[in-house]
Amino acid sequence: MSAFNQSILEINGIRLSVAAQGAGPLVLLLHGFPETSHAWRHQLAVLPAAGFRALAPDLRGYGASESPENPQQYTSLDIVGDLVGILDALGEADAVVVGNDWGATIAWQAAQLWPDRFRAVAALGVPMMGRAPMAPSRLFPLSEQAWFYTHYFSQAGLAENEFGRDVAATLRKIYFWASGEAGPRDGRTPNPFGLVSREAGLLDALPDPGALPSWLSGADFDALVSAFTASGFRGGLNYYRNLDRNWDLQAAFNGMLVPVPALYLVGEHDPGLAMPGMRDIIDAMPKLVPDLRDSLVIPSAGHWLQQEAPDQVNAALIEFLRGL
């Protein structure tokens, strides 16, 4: 069980579970896929000592939070609406929003749309990007032999059935092979977030590492396995099923800058960093984020940055927060 204060908030007609610790200016911590609020355990433990109130929700569809049945209720704007609802429920005027993976995408959009409520943003892994020239389903690779993992995730019932057969093996493989312990991304490194064979599933191409990565204890792994055993994977996968819808909605605020102070961190061995053009997108971020205070690459770390390199992430976060 978590040592942090757990509570349930009624937000936008659904129940959201939040873990919180500390007192002071509010810092919202947003997890990615496949994670829960437990991914922020190191930050929930450290930020309060630095004078901040840290709060990590299980985003809708995850953990102990409610999962709406309708997959269309998982757009980025739905999630930003949940964050605004959390601030209102707590009586908080504003917060700093921090996110990893999908949480980073949501964090950027929250700061872009509501800079008066989200007064600063820190993103891990996913940089701020402008609207793509076409819908993601047309942009990502697709052939008769293989499809990009987002296409695979978008098929109703497919990935959740594969992932749910052995939750522990699923998470062990995805966590290990997207982490820094998979080593440099040389094109031959197994990658959970790459091309998926049409003949097989995503997990077939990922060797079972046989052990947990060194940054993940057995007890913490068990907590994550227990959460996904209870919730299933459909809620998290529904975020991917709204990629095209998000692109449609983004037309309404295309070109808007992120005007608040920002911090960007990425792991040296994050598979996302190896995607073609990603370093150019990162280098171009100041055009979209004029108050980008720092952009750091964390040596040897991978995609689960706040879990893999908590000391470096916490130090960078606290320095950023104190500078606001």
Active site residues: 101, 303
CA distance 180 to 215: 10
* Cβ–Cβ under 8 Å, residues 47 and 35: no
Geometric angle at alpha carbon 58, from 285 and 81, rounded to 5°: 60
DSSP three-state, residue 324: coil
Residue indicated by tokens 């005007």: 259
Nearest CA among 59, 32, 53, 44 for reference residue 2: 44
The DSSP symbol for 141 reads -
**109 vs 32, 38, 113, 126, 165, CA distance in Å?**
15, 23, 6, 12, 34
CA distance 139 to 137: 6
Main-chain dihedrals φ then ψ at residue 251, nearest 5 degrees = -60, -30
The DSSP symbol for 4 reads S
Token duo for residue 308: 């893999």
Q: Which amino acid is at 62?
A: Y
* Cβ–Cβ under 8 Å, residues 19 and 4: yes
Q: Which amino acid is at 302?
A: G
Strands of the chain, DSSP E: 5-11, 14-21, 26-30, 53-57, 95-100, 118-124, 146-148, 195-197, 262-267, 292-298
